Each structure stands twice: as structure tokens, then as C-alpha cells.
């Protein structure tokens, strides 16, 4: 069939050239595409700018054009795939730098050229299949991690049920419906590694698209029949005599039921319980007051006086959306966000780009690989604390200070015409201290609007009429919106978990949640958490990657139990404690661990209880499979009725 050359030409102006060149090695079987002079030298903080001259770009496009037409107008048969050494060269080419040997297996796995990955459940042996059939697992949460667990459990042949408090799947993407809510990781990477979506409408799509993706996943994998919606978990109690968890569920009708299960996977996320600030008079406000995660779509903001408390990642997204329609807005800011320049943050994925994803074999894999590699550990060195740093506390190293200078100048330039804002919009804490946001200019444009005031005086009181600041001024408002974040360090706050010896998990934690690899806690056998303590990432990668690693490990634990014929596995305290000591020490070495930073990453004791302080590769390696020596393995299993 003749190729739509107009579409192809448009596509080649927007496609990612290094990923297309790698795809051509598959299409033509010719390794000579990987020319040194075509190798990209990416420009930092750009949208994949290759740093090549316009002449070289044009040469690559012309070669791609001819090869793609030849393939599409030919029999479309692909030659035998490239050998391992060639794939390694292709990875180096697309990454724009040699991938260190230590990363080779990790990068190869992420790429999964042949479709297989270490993250696939390995339950092929009949004996394991038989054992899997007898296992029953309860998953708490039907968000991104819970659905993923369901997919992997069903692939392994394990019986499972998922419960969720909401009436539909999606978790955070179901709950956060505030105007402007969107993903802040490139969507072609923020999707399951085994479920690429060529139809993402934007590079960072809005929330309804993310929800649609996860709903589609639930349908495609037949997960809905396994899910009890509008059901709350009240308690999980370990039955030491039978080695099973008894889980009390409360349905929408208020009735409770207790189910027995061999293992529990808690996939409830870190950011699902809104946090309201402890401000005097908070309940006295006369008008509608709500949190960003519980957006009141029934409250018409048109022409209203609106007060917003908080300028974190959520407020950063909804303030520019609502500013044009409100009468007046007062934004109360304690600390400004660091906005990293991402010009295409709100841009549509071009039709040509989608066409390439659909029509050029392996382009999707190599584009994802490019996104993955350049965000994997790419930014981490910039936020690493240098113990010898003796510059300003607004940075943690020379590299961090240089980045600060560049981004600070970028932010300041946007308000050059507003001297009153200059001193307010550039943070004084280091970049990487808190979650940086992606900035395409709409944030500061909103704050510059004539109907918006940015107030940096401390909020001291809320009255029926508005918000009072430390200078004694009452800022009147009809509607009050809290963009004040979540009770992140209060892990699993809405249900009790009673393990061995009748010890309750929250009592064990005492407000300072810890786990081994974020997943298991001594004394709580067969209880696994996804996105548990110390598994959040600040500047590198996508949290979906982390969930995929965690689920691989959990499925590996079930496999280990099946192989060894044991009913329960309980992580050893010494292993858990040694791991946590390493985590705590390492967290001090990053911008977010700086004593000059306060954020939701730190708990009430000032300990960083949220973040993973190592590279992605370290989590990938640590979660390849459980080490049996890390666990106390207990007794023969008894099937659960
Ligand atoms: P957040 O980042 O914790 O921001 C809360 C904001 O409220 C901060 O500006 C905080 O100021 C402010 N605040 C809290 N108490 C206050 C008080 N008493 N007075 C004045 N200001 C107060 O919460 P979030 O914006 O909901 O974001 C939470 C996390 O969710 C993010 O870090 C990110 O991981 C995730 N998120 C992701 C996306 C996305 O991917 N698109 C979008 C939204 C959220 P301080 O900075 O001074 O503490």
C-alpha cells in the first residue's frame, strides 16, 4: 500500500530521531545505521534536542524517509532481530552515551526487545502452577499498583480478590479530579512497560486520560470480576495457628465480613488521605471549603473571591486553570515550588508522532527507552549532597548551585516586569528538596494576573469571612481551597494490621513507618506493601517502574513459598534493621534529606520515611527475587477454603 508521504514528512519533523534510527536496525537488519556522526548529544532540560546540526538532522530524516517507505510499501517482513551486542550498541546510541556495563542487564530488561521481562511471573512448572492455584491473595486498592498486582497474580494462576474504597478503579487518578490535574512524567513512560499506549493525547496527559487508561486495563485483563468496590478494609489479623490473614471488610451497606487469605498485598499508595493544616478557626469558614483531592465540582467559582492555601504540585496545576474564571484569588504561599522548564508540558502529541508509534516497528520501545534512560539516574547527580559543600544552604553541591542559578534565572525572568514577585517565586531551599514541578510558564502567568494576589505572610487564622495572616490582615473569600497535600507519612492509616503476638503495625511503627524494601515488616508474615515506606522517588523515573519491581518481588515471594512448600514467610528483623540503617544514612546524602528542607518526605521525627535514597537500578536489583535467607520460612500450607 502506498505510504501517506505527507503524514510521513510531518511525522519526521516531530519524531525522536535516535529512536527512529534504532528502529531502522530492526526494519533493515543493517547495523550501519548506528553512525557515530548521528549519535545524539542531548541538550539538558530540552525536549530531546539531539544537539546535531540541521544538516545532519536533514540527512538522518532523508535516510529514515526512504527506509520507512521501502518497508511500508514492501512485504513488511522484518529480518531476524539484532543480536545482543548490536542491541547494546543501539542502547548506547539512543541513550547518547555508553551505558555502563553495570547497567546493561537492567537496561536490557527495561527495553524487553523480545517482549519477555524479569517482571513476568515465572510459574510455568506444573508443580508451581498447582501450588499457585491453592494460594489466595487479597489486594487492597485498585489503583495503578493494585491493578498491576491483579494482572500478575492472574498470570501466575493465583486466586485473588481486590478491594477498593472507591466505586471504580484508578486510585489517585480516580480521586484527583481538580482542574488541570495531569501526570508529570512523560506519558509514554508513565504506562505499564507491557502496555504501551500509542494514543496518549498529550505528552503529559490530563487526569481523565489516565483514568481511562487504567479503566481500559481493568477491562482488558478481566480484573473487574475480581474487585469489590466501595469496600473498606477495617482490619487484617494474622492467625498464627493457621498461617492465614483474616481480613475484615466493610461494604457500602455497612455490613462487615471477614475473609481468609494466605497473603495480603496493600496497594493503597502514599498520597490518598488529604492533609488539612492545623490552623485556628479552620471549621468556622462560612463558605464552601474543600481539599484539592476532594474537589467540589458543584461549587461554581465564576466571579467568586477564592482563597487557596498551598503552592505544591496540585495547586501548581489547578491555580492557572481557575484563575481566569474567578473574580479574585488570593494564593497563600509558604514556600514556592521549583519549576523546571518543560515547554511542551501541555502540548498535544502530534498526529505524526502517533503515526510513527503505530507504523514503525520498535519505535515505541526505543522512544520509551530514551525517556527511561535519560530520566533514570540522569538528574540524580544534580541533587546529591556534597558533604564538603560550604556554599549557601540554598544548594547542596556545586552542581546543584549551578542548576539553581539557571532555573532561578528562568523563573525570575518570567516576573521581570513584576518586582513585587521576584523575591517571592524563587525558592530558597535546594532544588530536589521537594518535588519539582514542570513549568511551561502558565504558573507565573497566573500569579501575575491582575485578579491574583500572592501572599507570603504566614496564615494564622481562618474566620467565617476569610483568612487572616500574621500581619493582622483579613483576606476575604467566598470559597477556600486547600492545596495542602496528604498525610503521606501516616502509612496505612485507615486500617489496623495485627501480626504475630497480637502486635499492631502502627504501634510497632510508632509514627515512624519502616519496612524491608518498602514491602515487608518483621512479625507480619505474608503482608506486603507496594509504594510502602522509603519507595518514593523525587527526581528520577516513574513510580510505575517501582510498582512493577515490587510486584515482581511479591510474586517471587509467592513462588518461593510454593517452591519450598511453606505457608508463611517473615522477614528477619536483623535484615530489616540493617536495610533501614542503610536507607537512613543514604537519605542524608540528598537534597531532600538536607536539614534546611521540610517537606512531606519527612515524618514527625524529621526522618525521611518516604524516599528511596538509591538509584532505580538498586531497587531493580534488590527486587529481582527474594533471598530465602532474608526470611524465616514457616510450616506447610493449608489450602484456604
Ligand atoms: P504538597 O506538595 O505537599 O504541597 C502542599 C502545599 O501546601 C505546600 O506548598 C505547603 O507549603 C503548603 N502548606 C501546607 N500547610 C500549610 C500551611 N499551614 N500554610 C500555608 N501553606 C501550607 O501537596 P500536593 O501539591 O498535593 O502534592 C503532593 C504530592 O503529590 C507531590 O509532591 C507529588 O508527588 C504528587 N502530585 C503529583 C502530581 C502529578 O504527577 N501531576 C500532581 C499533584 C501532586 P510548604 O512547601 O511550605 O510545606
CA of 406 to the centre of ligand 1 (A): 24
Q: Is the C-beta atom of 311 inside 6 A of ligand 1?
A: yes
User: Can you give the C-alpha Rg of the chain in angstroms?
Assistant: 26
| 452-458: long-range pairs with CB below 8 Å, 24+ | 452/319, 452/323, 452/328, 452/329, 452/330, 452/331, 453/328, 453/329, 453/330, 453/331, 454/331, 454/333, 454/421, 454/424, 454/425, 455/330, 455/331, 455/332, 455/333, 456/333, 456/334, 456/424, 458/334
Could you tell me if 296 and 435 lie in one domain?
Answer: yes
Question: What is the SS3 assignment for 611?
Answer: strand
Average pLDDT of span 460-489: 98
Average pLDDT of span 613-639: 90
Q: Is the C-beta atom of 275 inside 6 A of ligand 1?
A: no
Task: Note the pLDDT tens digit of each residue in 380-414.
Answer: 899 999 999 999 999 999 999 999 999 999 999 99
pLDDT recorded at residue 114: 84
Task: Note the pLDDT tens digit of each residue in 434-473.
Answer: 999 999 999 999 999 999 999 999 999 999 999 999 999 9
Could you tell me if 24 and 64 lie in one domain?
Answer: yes
Could you tell me if 507 and 470 lie in one domain?
Answer: no
| Residue 410 forms part of a structural domain | yes
| Residue 174 forms part of a structural domain | yes
pLDDT recorded at residue 305: 98
Could you tell me if 140 and 253 lie in one domain?
Answer: yes
Cell 473574580 -> residue: 327
For 124, 254, 488, 590, 612, the CA distances from 584, given in Å and listed in that order, are: 39, 41, 18, 11, 10
Q: What is the DSSP letter of 158?
A: -
| Residue 556 forms part of a structural domain | yes
pLDDT recorded at residue 48: 79
- Tally the residues of the chain: 641
Q: What is the DSSP letter of 348?
A: B
Q: Which residues contact 115 (CB under 8 A, 6 or more apart)?
A: none
Out of 482, 511, 534, a domain closes at 482
Q: How far apart are CA 230 and CA 246, in angstroms?
A: 19
Provide, rounded to the nearest whole percent, the portion of the chain with pLDDT above 90: 91
Burial of 220 (0-12, 13-18, 19+ CB in 10 A): exposed
Q: Which helix (H) or strand (E) holds 371?
A: helix 363-376
| Residue 383 forms part of a structural domain | no
Q: Is the C-beta atom of 178 inside 6 A of ligand 1?
A: no
CA of 294 to the centre of ligand 1 (A): 14
Q: What is the span of the domain harbouring residue 320?
A: 282-344+393-482
- Comparing 139-143, 251-255, 594-598, which segment has the lowest mean pLDDT? 594-598
Residue 13 has pLDDT above 70, yes or no: yes
Could you tell me if 537 and 583 lie in one domain?
Answer: yes
Could you tell me if 448 and 314 lie in one domain?
Answer: yes
Q: How far apart are CA 22 and CA 2, in angstroms?
A: 23
Average pLDDT of span 78-94: 95
- How many domains would you assign to the chain? 3
Could you tell me if 418 and 548 lie in one domain?
Answer: no
Could you tell me if 453 and 552 lie in one domain?
Answer: no
Could you tell me if 566 and 594 lie in one domain?
Answer: yes
| Residue 151 forms part of a structural domain | yes
Residue 221 has pLDDT above 90, yes or no: yes
Q: How far apart are CA 174 and CA 192, in angstroms?
A: 17
Out of 482, 499, 527, a domain closes at 482
pTM: 0.96
| Residue 586 forms part of a structural domain | yes
Q: How far apart are CA 346 and CA 342, in angstroms?
A: 9
Average pLDDT of span 200-229: 98
| Residue 385 forms part of a structural domain | no
Q: Is the C-beta atom of 277 inside 6 A of ligand 1?
A: yes
pLDDT recorded at residue 374: 87
CA-nearest residue, atom 11 of ligand 1 = 334
Number of Cα atoms under 13 Å in the Cβ half of residue 545: 32
431: domain CATH number is: 3.50.50.60
Residue 639 has pLDDT above 70, yes or no: no
| Residue 354 forms part of a structural domain | yes
Could you tell me if 165 and 200 lie in one domain?
Answer: yes
Task: Note the pLDDT tens digit of each residue in 14-62.
Answer: 999 999 999 999 999 999 999 999 999 998 777 778 999 999 999 999 9
Out of 482, 504, 537, a domain closes at 482
Could you tell me if 532 and 447 lie in one domain?
Answer: no
Could you tell me if 92 and 11 lie in one domain?
Answer: yes
Average pLDDT of span 303-310: 98
Residue 126 has pLDDT above 90, yes or no: no
pLDDT recorded at residue 491: 97
Q: Of all atoms in ligand 1, which is nearest to the CA of residue 598? A: 48
Amino acid at each position: 500500500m502506498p505510504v501517506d508521504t505527507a503524514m510521513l514528512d510531518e511525522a519526521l519533523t516531530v519524531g525522536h530521531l535516535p529512536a527512529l534510527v534504532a528502529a531502522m536496525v530492526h526494519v533493515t537488519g543493517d547495523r550501519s545505521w548506528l553512525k557515530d556522526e548521528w549519535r545524539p548529544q542531548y541538550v539538558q532540560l530540552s525536549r530531546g534536542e539531539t544537539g546535531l546540526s540541521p544538516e545532519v538532522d536533514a540527512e538522518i530524516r532523508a535516510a529514515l524517509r526512504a527506509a520507512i517507505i521501502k518497508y511500508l510499501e514492501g512485504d513488511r517482513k522484518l529480518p531476524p532481530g539484532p543480536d545482543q551486542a548490536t542491541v547494546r550498541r543501539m542502547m548506547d546510541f539512543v541513550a547518547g552515551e555508553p551505558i555502563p556495563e553495570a547497567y546493561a542487564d537492567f537496561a536490557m530488561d527495561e527495553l524487553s526487545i523480545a517482549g519477555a521481562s524479569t517482571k513476568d511471573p515465572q510459574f510455568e512448572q506444573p508443580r508451581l502452577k498447582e501450588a499457585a492455584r491453592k494460594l489466595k491473595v487479597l489486594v487492597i486498592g485498585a489503583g495503578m499498583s493494585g491493578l498491576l498486582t491483579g494482572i500478575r497474580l492472574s498470570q501466575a494462576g493465583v486466586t485473588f480478590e481486590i478491594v477498593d474504597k472507591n466505586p471504580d478503579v484508578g486510585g489517585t487518578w480516580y480521586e484527583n479530579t481538580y482542574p488541570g490535574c495531569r501526570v508529570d512524567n512523560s506519558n509514554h513512560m508513565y504506562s505499564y512497560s507491557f502496555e504501551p499506549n500509542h494514543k496518549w493525547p498529550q505528552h503529559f496527559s490530563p487526569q481523565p486520560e489516565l483514568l481511562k487508561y487504567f479503566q481500559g486495563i481493568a477491562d482488558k485483563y478481566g480484573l473487574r470480576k475480581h474487585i469489590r468496590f466501595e469496600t473498606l478494609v477495617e482490619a487484617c489479623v494474622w492467625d498464627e495457628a493457621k498461617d492465614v490473614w483474616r481480613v475484615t471488610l466493610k461494604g457500602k451497606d455497612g455490613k462487615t465480613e471477614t475473609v481468609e487469605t494466605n497473603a495480603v498485598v496493600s496497594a493503597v499508595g502514599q498520597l490518598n488521605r488529604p492533609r488539612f493544616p492545623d490552623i485556628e478557626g479552620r471549621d468556622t469558614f462560612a463558605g464552601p471549603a474543600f481539599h484539592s483531592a476532594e474537589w467540589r465540582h458543584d461549587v461554581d467559582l465564576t466571579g467568586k473571591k477564592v482563597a487557596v492555601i498551598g503552592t505544591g504540585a496540585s495547586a501548581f496545576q489547578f491555580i492557572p486553570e481557575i484563575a481566569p474564571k474567578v473574580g479574585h484569588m488570593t494564593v497563600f504561599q509558604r514556600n514556592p515550588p521549583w519549576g523546571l522548564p518543560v515547554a511542551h508540558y501541555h502540548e498535544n502529541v502530534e498526529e505524526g508522532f502517533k503515526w510513527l508509534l503505530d507504523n514503525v516497528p520498535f519505535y515505541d520501545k526505543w522512544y520509551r527507552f530514551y525517556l527511561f534512560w535519560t530520566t533514570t539516574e540522569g538528574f540524580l547527580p544534580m541533587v546529591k549532597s556534597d558533604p564538603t559543600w560550604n556554599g549557601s544552604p540554598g544548594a547542596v553541591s556545586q552542581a546543584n548551585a549551578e542548576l539553581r542559578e539557571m532555573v532561578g534565572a528562568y523563573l525570575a525572568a518570567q516576573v521581570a516586569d513584576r518586582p513585587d514577585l521576584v523575591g517571592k517565586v524563587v525558592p530558597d531551599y535546594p532544588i530536589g528538596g521537594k518535588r519539582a514541578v514542570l513549568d511551561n510558564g502558565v504558573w507565573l502567568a497566573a500569579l501575575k494576573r491582575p485578579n491574583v494576589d500572592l501572599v507570603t505572610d504566614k496564615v494564622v487564622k481562618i474566620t467565617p469571612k476569610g483568612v487572616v495572616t500574621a500581619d493582622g490582615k483579613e483576606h476575604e473569600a467566598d470559597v477556600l481551597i486547600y492545596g495542602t497535600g496528604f498525610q503521606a507519612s501516616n502509612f496505612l492509616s485507615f486500617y489496623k494490621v495485627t501480626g504475630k503476638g497480637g502486635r499492631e503495625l502502627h504501634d510497632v511503627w510508632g509514627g515512624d513507618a519502616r519496612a524491608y524494601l518498602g514491602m515487608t515488616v518483621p512479625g507480619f508474615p505474608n503482608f506486603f506493601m507496594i509504594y510502602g515506606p522509603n519507595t518514593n522517588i523525587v527526581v528520577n523515573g516513574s513510580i510505575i517502574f517501582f510498582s512493577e519491581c515490587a510486584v515482581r518481588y511479591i510474586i517471587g515471594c509467592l513462588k518461593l513459598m510454593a517452591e519450598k512448600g511453606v505457608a508463611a514467610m517473615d522477614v528477619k528483623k536483623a535484615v530489616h534493621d540493617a536495610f533501614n540503617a542503610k536507607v537512613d544514612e543514604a537519605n542524608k546524602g540528598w537534597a531532600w534529606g538536607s536539614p534546611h528542607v521540610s517537606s512531606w518526605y519527612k515524618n514527625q521525627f524529621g526522618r525521611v520515611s518516604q524516599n528511596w535514597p538509591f538509584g532505580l537500578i538498586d531497587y531493580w536489583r534488590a527486587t529481582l527475587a527474594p533471598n530465602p535467607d532474608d526470611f524465616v520460612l514457616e510450616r506447610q500450607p493449608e489450602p484456604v477454603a
